[in-house]
Structure 1
């Protein structure tokens, strides 16, 4: 497995994808508190010159809590788009370019190839999500005051990280099925946003992976709902792993 991880690391670094992800998450983590502290009040001041700064502050209602929750909302809306279209080629492009032939000829099993991609990119994005949430938490605490318990933020970061592993599993599965990068990205986004909409409309987030996003962004941690959503997410990831493996094994005959 070490060779597979090394290969994925080289792909992520040499292609610049890892750099794009790091800078994007860092930018969002720092800009959200700044917007609440400086930009939005300044816009209100320009639009409503007769209002006092105290009234503007009350209207904006900026705090560490709103900054952290706003950032986690940005992670779902903007961060996911960045992740999806940055990494939509991790499987599809390799199949299109036929570069998977080399590890297969070297004796690597499809299980190892799929697992290495899922684990490497899943953990990488998951750690970036957790790290960026902690940066936003610390910076917003400096700009405002520390009012959100650290353990809640850590818990929310882990839930969001697991959700993004689910997104990575989608990219790998759809990449293996479609063998096209952009369709892989678009379908993954449609699934994510549709799941979020359905979960909110019918109040079934607890039974969908979208519950991880919903509960963590609200910093509401009901044990039963969290456990159910986590279990469902893990099951979805395992099912997608199996589907990807079956799809790859069917391609083995053509490769040979």
Structure 2
């Protein structure tokens, strides 16, 4: 019994050392996927799969709803929402499955070309999503500041140009690494370029400038809405005072 226990302990210790050695080398086989425990791997698969399913089905529902509802389809601002939904849908359909595979295996096994394409699509769709939100905020701002004239200016051509600009800028941000603007990667590694020049270039176009626009635009919308609310309150009070005065005059005339 003692020999059997000692032998089992020796085997377990040996396996742990082998696992540590394999993980330290960055070599991942099916016995130790990504150096994760079975429970951790199962949780990651379940979580990412649920998120992926929600993203794909949710955005597909948005696209189909606008497509088959004529009242929604003729409202051109909804075209922006559809384009945003397409970007998010493609993230769930094309990017996240490979993210799940990379997360579980721990190394990139699909080759350098597919790695570059996967990273480019990730940056493309994420940037397009942010820029669409930015454009939607501008559309709402113009609707608030030009309530009478902007609905006329919101032509199909204008909306298509806005959508095209969002996708074009996103493409210009994701494309440089495909041309070689990227660091040398170790075998099995697939990460977005961390070169300072590209980080500044991409982060400005896909995050900092859009965020600045969003903050400024929504602050202006808040100020305009607040001013309009105050003006409506003053107009209501003025009408109440006028009605009260008219009521008093009518009562006085009846008394006299």
- TM-score range for the pair, normalised by the shorter chain length: 0.3 to 0.5
Per chain length, whose mean CA-contact separation is higher, i.e. which structure has more relative contact order (CA < 8 Å, sep 6+)? 1
Q: TM-score, normalized by length of structure 2?
A: 0.39
- Structure possessing the higher radius of gyration over alpha carbons: 2
Q: TM-score, normalized by length of structure 1?
A: 0.39
